[in-house]
Amino acid sequence: MTFEEDISHCLKVLKEGGVILYPTDTVWGLGCDATNENAIAKIYKIKNRNDSKALIVLAATERQVMKYTAAVDLSLFDYLETAEKPTTVIYEYGLGFPDNLTADDGSIAIRICRDDFCKTLIKRFGKPIVSTSANISGQPTPQVYQEINQSIIHAVDYVVKYRQDDTNPALASSIIRWNDGEIEFIRK
């Protein structure tokens, strides 16, 4: 299966409200259309996770972040350009996302993805996708595909073939809040 075939299969599943298991710029993730409440509910069910815990969203571009958030401080994007590791930002106001994706206070966690596979997928899909680690809630986060629980693999609608053989351990992203140019690290 080629990169392009994986992208095509993912797009079909995402458009139909399904869930994919895919490599990201960090760990392998469970993904779906970030604007589809039912697809998001499926991810919570697969992970056996309470939907009061918000999920991360991947975007392809700064423009996409600005479309789905309010009052973005543009200097944040300068910081993200220089960040050494993938960085997820908690934005105060998410726009166009269902309630089961955002935090109780309306905030949303978004990462601009630089990974070729994710960036291509998100650009072609035309809107952000959910990205949450491919593990059962409370279990360790798998650092490579081979560590993913079989129950997760069997519960999704499509498993990406691309990078399944990668043995380099992946790490989670940093998570920050950006307040008037000041960084608050939630997870380094």
Owning domain of residue 136:
3-187
Handedness of CA 68, 49, 119, 143 (dihedral sign): positive
The residues of the chain scoring below 50 in pLDDT are: none
Q: How far apart are CA 14 and CA 153, in angstroms?
A: 16
Q: How far apart are CA 42 and CA 130, in angstroms?
A: 12
Q: How far apart are CA 13 and CA 55, in angstroms?
A: 19
Sequence-separated (6 or more) residues with CB below 8 Å from residue 5: none
Q: How far apart are CA 101 and CA 36, in angstroms?
A: 9
Q: How far apart are CA 34 and CA 187, in angstroms?
A: 22
- For residue 53, what pLDDT is reported? 81
- For residue 140, what pLDDT is reported? 93
Q: How far apart are CA 105 and CA 48, in angstroms?
A: 23
| Structural domain count of the chain | 1
Q: What is the pTM of this model?
A: 0.95
- Dig out the tokens for 26 from the structure: 């960090």
Instruction: List the Cα angle 105/114/37 in 5-degree steps.
Output: 40
CATH number reported for the structural domain that contains residue 61 in this entry: 3.90.870.10
- For residue 52, what pLDDT is reported? 75
pLDDT tens string 27-53: 999 999 999 999 999 999 999 998 778
The mean pLDDT value of the chain amounts to 94
AA identity, residue 166: D
Q: How far apart are CA 156 and CA 20, in angstroms?
A: 6
